[in-house]
Chains A and B, each alone.
Chain A
Amino acid sequence: MTPLLHSVLIGFLLVNVFLVTAAAGLWFERKWAARMQSRVGPNMVGYAGVLQPVADVVKLLQKEDILPENADWWLFQIAPPLAVFCSLGGLAVLPITPTEVSVGLDVGVLYLLAIGAVTVLSVFAGGWATNNKFALLGGMRAVAQSVSYEVPMVLTAMVPVVIAGSMNVSKIVEWQVSHHWLVGLSPMTVLGLPAFVIFMMASLAEANRIPFDIPEAESELVGGITTEYTGMKFALFYVAEYVHTLVSSAVAASLFLGGWDGPGAPGFHWFFGKTLFLFGFIYTARWTWLRFRSDQLMRLCWTWLVPTSLVLLAATAVWVVKVG
């Protein structure tokens, strides 16, 4: 098998697995949220409502495709697929097992951060193109939030990079296998845990999840950027959001929780187990917390997260030189 074919095959599998997992995650989230709110949740379509995501998609397919008046046609069309594309893009460099990785990029972490940052373009394009003031406000907030949270995200992602001495995600995971996980039962956790927490917060902010979901704060901005989108275009934004959350969880699991490493079961079991654990945590947070105001969010970022991650990065560098 040629390397190219191998890459394509792994990539194809991974994209499909993540899309299906996102749909299953949708069902799981609704059931989980229902449990938290003393409700039943979806229980009509299929056993315990497992086919609810399918029913949702079928419903959305039948919706009228509306192009708002004075909308920017080109941007309006390109934004939803771009959102899905960018959120799935991160999968390319994630190792699911010691050998299975779609593209073993040597600048993998840089690529992950870059493709994650491009997501905001689709959000802003959607907000701008629809010619709706609520959507515009949402897009504006998205840009402000993304620009702010990129900084602590990049800084904390540098912590595993500095420790492992490589930007290749596979190398970072291998370093964790041969030494310790960055978050685990080792002295490394002192550096790893704060970096992990800040990285997760920044990921939440980038994936627009509560408590950082101000770009689409539906109680304030109706639907935020998706206000004017209908049918499958709306569904694409929706899917992108879920996939983005899932991929962010996978990235955090790889960078900080040892990726595919774990006793007993094969590598991909551990990889998906860790990813889904973080995914579930994000959704528990979503149905528990209220939403910050945008200026409070920026203040949190610039007065706490950025200085803390700078200190963390400096401490990591010192640790690598003195100890490692």
Chain B
Amino acid sequence: MQTTPVTVSRRVDPHLKVDQYDPEGELMLLHFGPQHPSTHGVFRMDLYLDGEIIVKAVPHVGYLHRAVEKLCEKLTYVQSTPIVDKNDYVAPMTNEQALVMSFEKLLNLEVPRRARYLRTIYAELQRIASHLVWLGTFSADLGGTLGGGASVLLWCLRERELILDLFEDVTGARFHYNTHTIGGLRHDITPGWVDRVKQAMDKIEPRLDEYNELSFHNRIFQERTRGVGTLAADLALDLGITGPILRACGVDHDLRRDAPFHAYDEVKVNVITAKGGDCLARSQVRVAEMRESVRLVRQLIDAVPEGGINAGKPVKLPIQYKIPANQAYVGIETPRGELGTYVIAAGEASPYRLKIRSPSLHALSAIPYILPGETVSDAVAILGSLDPIMGEVDR
């Protein structure tokens, strides 16, 4: 077996086994996670270190596996909405949307225009909330949970609070909303909600400028992110990476514009891209996306049409559907990328098989390629910039 010596500057082929380039076993194996403050939940990486430099990184997922897909096979179509809420626990709205939209596609249900508008607004509000959490946790990764990073984290949570209050107004829940049903929405908006959304946007927008200054005009932030974890566009496409990470590689791809769902065909979505594919580019894309979302919410909130919010008759209890044998795939653009639901129906009240395509899992698959050659400190920054939500990765 041919062996190659370890050199610090060179990135080794991630497909090689570790003893193929470390026959002497001189590298230090560091189990990074699953219990680690910066793994965004329970993610584990086996890092082979040469001093501080990572030579090989092996990601391990599955510590948060809750058999969501199997549960959905056992529950009826209507019952599965609150289950998938817990997948991406930073953006629960989008999980529900991807699920119910696949069922609607199977049933050929036409969702009322008002419901589609509200879903769009929810999705954009959720995007702002999710990106705020990302910015906070990413800063905490860079600057310590007991330092400047914690300040950014708490400021971001302060703004996110405004959005959670808005959702609470409508759905009664701050987090796991269970507000989407097959054919529309369960709750209509409350009186005065439109004004409160506008007020919240007015509060959030100037703060976004602050965060822009705080991050991109900060020398340490730039030093820590520029040129770190560079992901090539080809590799990103090969790995099936979508969302802000792909757009940061310069690929102009956004399902909101390319395959419009909800009411996105009635508004113009400016797709934000950046060059470089490093942590800085990913940060720039996300912060700019928050701004774009504020603009979209402002545009949509005045245009919400009157009418029903559900395709069926308004009923107290959810209708039980029996869906004839068929299959459907629906992918929507969540804050993390393309969240897809592939469902096979067999004429029963529950699906025969349900598969969730989670963008975070694909994002994590870049780890063996972009981590080698960087330091342990950068590993934290890169992982943070990929914005993985382990609930969604493991399901």
Contact with B along A125-139 (1 / 0, CB 8 A): 000000001100100
Whether A291 is near chain B, meaning CB under 8 Å from some CB there, is: yes
Q: Is the CB of B143 within 8 A of A137?
A: no
Q: Is the CB of B37 within 8 A of A218?
A: yes
Neighbouring A residues of B146 by C-beta, 8 Å:
218
Q: Is the CB of A210 within 8 A of B147?
A: yes
Chain B interface mostly: helix
Q: Is the CB of B147 within 8 A of A290?
A: yes
How far is B221's CA from A213's CA once the two chains are assembled, in angstroms? 16
Whether B90 is near chain A, meaning CB under 8 Å from some CB there, is: no
How far is B224's CA from A286's CA once the two chains are assembled, in angstroms? 17
Contact with A along B149-191 (1 / 0, CB 8 A): 1110011001000000000000000000000000000000000
Q: Is the CB of B151 within 8 A of A293?
A: no
Of A36, A140, A287, A293, which contacts B223 at CB under 8 A?
A293
Whether B195 is near chain A, meaning CB under 8 Å from some CB there, is: no
Q: Is the CB of A295 within 8 A of B151?
A: no
Q: Which of B304-312, B333-341, B373-381 contacts A (4 or more CB under 8 A)?
A: B373-381
Whether A296 is near chain B, meaning CB under 8 Å from some CB there, is: yes
How far is B144's CA from A219's CA once the two chains are assembled, in angstroms? 5
Contact with B along A190-222 (1 / 0, CB 8 A): 000000000000000000001101100111111
A residues 71-100 in Cβ contact with B at 8 Å: none
Q: Which of B61-69, B105-113, B134-142 contacts A (4 or more CB under 8 A)?
A: B134-142
Neighbouring A residues of B140 by C-beta, 8 Å:
219
Q: Is the CB of B52 within 8 A of A219?
A: no
Neighbouring B residues of A70 by C-beta, 8 Å:
none
Neighbouring B residues of A134 by C-beta, 8 Å:
30
Contact with B along A218-252 (1 / 0, CB 8 A): 11111000000000000000000000000000000
Of B52, B155, B220, which contacts A292 at CB under 8 A?
B220
How far is B335's CA from A283's CA once the two chains are assembled, in angstroms? 35
Q: A271: shortest Cβ distance to chain B, in Å? A: 28
Number of interface residues of A (CB under 8 A): 31
Shortest Cβ distance from B28 into A: residue: A133
Whether B36 is near chain A, meaning CB under 8 Å from some CB there, is: yes
Whether B148 is near chain A, meaning CB under 8 Å from some CB there, is: yes
Q: A213-B147, A218-B144, A287-B148 are in contact. Are A37 and B154 (CB under 8 A)?
A: yes
Whether B2 is near chain A, meaning CB under 8 Å from some CB there, is: no
Q: B211: shortest Cβ distance to chain A, in Å? A: 13
Neighbouring A residues of B79 by C-beta, 8 Å:
none
Q: A38-B154, A38-B158, A219-B141 are in contact. Are A290 and B376 (CB under 8 A)?
A: no
Q: A137-B376, A217-B377 are in contact. Are A292 and B223 (CB under 8 A)?
A: yes
Neighbouring A residues of B38 by C-beta, 8 Å:
219-220
Q: Is the CB of B143 within 8 A of A210?
A: yes
A residues 271-302 in Cβ contact with B at 8 Å: 286-296
Neighbouring A residues of B143 by C-beta, 8 Å:
210-211, 219, 289-291
Q: A204: shortest Cβ distance to chain B, in Å? A: 12
Q: Is the CB of A293 within 8 A of B144?
A: no
Whether A39 is near chain B, meaning CB under 8 Å from some CB there, is: yes
Whether B218 is near chain A, meaning CB under 8 Å from some CB there, is: yes
Shortest Cβ distance from A295 into B: residue: B375
Q: Is the CB of A219 within 8 A of B380?
A: yes
Q: Is the CB of B377 within 8 A of A36?
A: no
Of A39, A220, A290, which contacts B154 at CB under 8 A?
A39
Q: A37-B151, A210-B147 are in contact. Are A289 and B220 (CB under 8 A)?
A: yes
Nearest 7 A-B pairs (CB), nearest first? A290-B143, A37-B154, A210-B147, A290-B220, A293-B377, A289-B148, A219-B38
